[in-house]
Chains A and B, each alone.
Chain A
Amino acid sequence: MFRVVPGDPLSMYIDAGLGEEATEVLLQQYGLDKPILEQYIIYVKKVLRGDFGISFQYGKPAINVIGERFWNTFFLMITSLFIAFFTGIVGGVFLAWKRGTLIDSLGTTIILIVRSAPVFWTGMIFLSLFAFRLEILPLGGMNTPGTYFPNQLVKFFSIDFLRHLILPALTAGIYSAATPLLVMRTSILEVIKEDFIELARARGIKENQILFKHVMRNALLPTVTVFAVQAGLAIGGIVLVETVFRWPGMGREIVLAVAARDYPVAQTAFFLIGAMTVIFNLIADILYAYVDPRVVWN
């Protein structure tokens, strides 16, 4: 698919002044002189060996370029998903508890608004508020320029990193939390009316226990489903969040790579993002089967 892009890819990188022979050699080096189908097969073979090609932009193997970015995205995603999960559940329980009150109506409206707002716009608003106006958090990027870390691990747990992580993770997190939150709320309200909850009360089981052991556990079922779907979509949203916050991750990289017509990098990024999507969907299925005993393994 990438090869169909109009515009000779190498024209951006090869000086027009180079002679024809030199151009030929470079084309050969990048394998672009062979017919498309052959190119595709060679590509797949290479991928299976772990060779994703050399980046046009950076001159390094694409896998290295992406590799650096991968963990940045990974951390951002995991953090935002955690935020989303807990906000969704706690928020859902809270709104269900306050059912019918002004807080409930207000809360639901706010959640719907968050859901309807483009995630990058929310990011821009947050940046304006917290980074620009209040100046309590950095303006983007992942580290303050000039900071030095002895190794990766330390870097990811440093305060500096966390300060940079908060806004993008929060932005992505609340967006992903919106639908699960509403689902959790509805779910709780419906489960509470169920016959088995009534019988649990008749059995003399304390309200607290009923709420946590029975209501929540059952209400979580559809919530987990929805959350899984949301997580799958969140991967696409990461592209936007990373762009707004200039977070050096795979999402941002794919945007830059496509703009620069750097196939290897773009392909690799897409491939990895796709793999992550599939894995997340799989995890979601497994998680749901674990939580709901009625699901049968095939």
Chain B
Amino acid sequence: MELIKFIIKKRELFRIEIIKNTIRFLKQDKLRMIGISIFLFFLVIAIFAAYIAPYNPMEMNFDGDGNLKRLQPPSKDHLLGTTYMGRDVFSQMIIGSRIALLVGILSAFCVVFIGTNIGLISGYYGGKIDNIIMRIVDIIYGIPFLPFALILVAILGPGVKNIIIAIVLITWRNTARVIRSQVLTLKTRTFIEAAKVSGAGDLRIIYKYIAPNVMPLSMVYISLTMGSAIMTEVSLSFLGYGDPLLPSWGKILYSCYSSQAMFKAWWWMVPPGIAIILLVLSGFLMGRGLEEIANPKLRIR
């Protein structure tokens, strides 16, 4: 009993240390902190969306006399005004954050998971396997992303799941290529040779020795992919292929554009854009990886 209490106490301490260290590390980079703050802000909103949104985003609102509250500018009742159909823009924005984050985070993890693993395998084994995989990657690079996503979603049917599938099917190509380059440079390092000599199996070498060294790069790509995934979802929704049931920021812009009211109703057009900018920006700031992508050394053919 005493022993268990002691262990539990120690574990708590241990956790606090790690948290403290992580926070200290993150604090060092101011821009990264800003990115994380923005991200957390939206995360909180998304989680508590149902409680924050004052109206049902799909509900058409009528005023006291029974008239549709069409295209009303921001007011006390409707913080961001109303749409052509009398819907509360603010509520739509709040609920819309859920889709954005859902698509963003899920896609990012799937893409980077797949991409990293393929990069690890391709880079480590080299030879025929590498050639085949890189050929596939080349072919995929030839596929124009948005048209492909558009067609795939049209075929499979508009919906969050299919949007994520479309994103994942193509976007892994970047991560795979970059991770593979990284693996190629790591492969020649002596600690790998040491591991081989000590008889470690291939899989063990890949996952115990190489993977931890490419993790930082993968992390960068998670943030960046989140940004681009959100962008893709918004784009598809704007073209009319978003999820028909769930409100997304892209869909708000789609309605705004098709109703031809965008010139008059700035409160309808501007907020979704700003929200998207902030969230995608946070992805870039957290990743701070623009330099890595641009590094010509990573462009090994």
Give per-residue flags for A173-184: 1 if the beta carbon is below 8 A from chain B beta carbons, else 0: 000000100110
Known pairs A120-B235, A124-B257; A273 contacts B141 (CB<8 A): no
Is A36 an interface residue, CB under 8 A from the partner? Answer: no
Interface residues of A: mostly helix, strand, loop or mixed? Answer: helix
Contact B146 A118 (CB under 8 A): no
B276 at the interface (CB under 8 A from A): yes
Please, which residues of chain B bring their CB within 8 A of the CB of A127?
262-263
| Chain A residues whose C-beta falls within 8 Å of the C-beta of B272 in the assembled complex | 121
A172 CB–B CB distance under 8 Å: no
Taking a contact as CB atoms under 8 Å apart, the answer to whether A112 and B294 are in contact is no
Tell whether A5 is near chain B: CB-to-CB under 8 Å.
Answer: yes
Contact size range, B: 35 or more
Say which residue of B145, B250, B284, B295 sits within 8 Å of A233 (CB atoms): B145
Q: Find residues 153-177 in chain B having any chain A CB closer than 8 Å to their own CB.
A: 154-155, 157
CA distance A124 to B262 in the complex (A): 8
Q: Which residue of chain B has the shortest Cβ distance to A259 in the bound complex?
A: B240
The reply to whether B235 and A277 form a contact with Cβ atoms under 8 Å apart is no
Complex Cα distance A187/B278, Å?
26
On whether the beta carbons of B143 and A274 are closer than 8 Å, the reply is yes
CB-CB nearest in chain A for B269: A124
B144 surroundings in chain A (CB, below 8 A) = 232, 235-236, 270, 273-274, 276-277
Residues 243-294 of A at the B interface (beta carbon under 8 Å): 243-244, 251, 254-255, 258-259, 266, 269-270, 273-274, 276-278, 281, 288, 292
A225 x B294 contact (CB < 8 A): yes
Q: Is the CB of B231 within 8 A of A225?
A: no
Chain A interfacial positions (CB closer than 8 Å to B):
1-2, 4-6, 112-113, 115-118, 120-122, 124-125, 127-128, 132, 179, 182-183, 186-187, 221-223, 225-226, 232-233, 235-237, 239-240, 243-244, 251, 254-255, 258-259, 266, 269-270, 273-274, 276-278, 281, 288, 292, 298
Which residues of B approach A to under 8 Å, CB–CB? 141-148, 150-151, 154-155, 157, 227, 231, 234-235, 238-240, 250, 253, 256-257, 262-263, 266, 269-270, 272-273, 276-278, 280-281, 284, 290-291, 293-296, 299, 301
